[in-house]
Amino acid sequence: MPVHRSGSGTTRRSRLAAAGSLLAALALLLALPGAAGAADIPQRGTARMGQGVIAHDGQRGGSPTGPAAVQTEGVDVSGHQGNVAWQTLWNSGVKWAYVKATEGTYYKNTYFTQQYNGSYNVGMIRGTYHFATPDTTSGAAQANYFVDNGGGWSRDGRTLPGVLDIEWNPYGAQCYGKTQAGMVSWIRDFTNTYRARTGRDPVIYTATSWWKDCTGNNASFGATNPLWVARYNTTVGELPAGWGIYTMWQYTSSGPTVGDHNHFNGALDRVQALANG
- pLDDT one-digit tens code per residue, 2-29: 444 444 454 455 554 544 554 444 444 4
In a domain, 66, yes or no: yes
In a domain, 191, yes or no: yes
In a domain, 90, yes or no: yes
Residue 89 near residue 118, CB atoms below 8 Å: no
* DSSP code of residue 80: G
Query: Pairing mode, if any, of strands 261-264 and 248-252?
Result: antiparallel
| CA dist list (Å): 244 to 86, 127, 187, 204, 226 | 33, 24, 20, 14, 11
* Number of domains, the chain: 1
Instruction: Give residue-wise pLDDT tens across range 200-225.
Output: 999 999 999 999 999 999 999 999 99
pLDDT at 262: 97
Question: Where in the sequence is the domain holding 57, given as residue range(s)?
Answer: 53-276
Give DSSP secondary structure letters for 236-258. --PPPTT-SS-SEEEEES--SSS
* DSSP code of residue 126: E
Respond yes or no: is residue 103 known to be catalytic.
no
pLDDT at 44: 84
In a domain, 87, yes or no: yes
- Backbone φ/ψ region at 151: left (φ over 0), alpha (ψ -120 to 50), beta: alpha
In a domain, 38, yes or no: no
Residue 257 near residue 115, CB atoms below 8 Å: no
pLDDT more than 70, % of the chain = 78
Could you tell me the CATH number of the domain that includes residue 141?
A: 3.20.20.80
In a domain, 77, yes or no: yes
Residue 262's CB: how many other CB atoms inside 10 A?
Answer: 26
- Name the catalytic one among 57, 103, 165, 260: 165
Instruction: Give residue-wise pLDDT tens across range 35-90.
Output: 335 558 878 876 677 666 656 655 655 455 555 479 999 999 999 999 999 999 99
Respond yes or no: is residue 76 known to be catalytic.
yes
Helices marked H in the chain? 6-31, 37-40, 53-57, 86-91, 112-121, 139-146, 180-198, 208-215, 268-276
In a domain, 44, yes or no: no
- Name the catalytic one among 57, 167, 201, 260: 167
- Please tell me the number of Cα atoms within 13 Å of 240 on its side-chain side: 32
Q: What is the maximum alpha-carbon separation in the chain?
A: 104
pTM: 0.81
Identity of the residue numbered 40:
D
Nearest-angstrom CA–CA distance, 161 and 200: 6
Residue 30's CB: how many other CB atoms inside 10 A?
Answer: 9
SS3 76: strand
In a domain, 24, yes or no: no
pLDDT at 45: 75
- Name the catalytic one among 76, 103, 201, 260: 76
Respond yes or no: is residue 269 known to be catalytic.
no
Between 49 and 185, the more confident residue is 185
What does the pLDDT average to over 213-239?
97
For 154, residues 6+ apart whose C-beta sits below 8 A from its C-beta are none
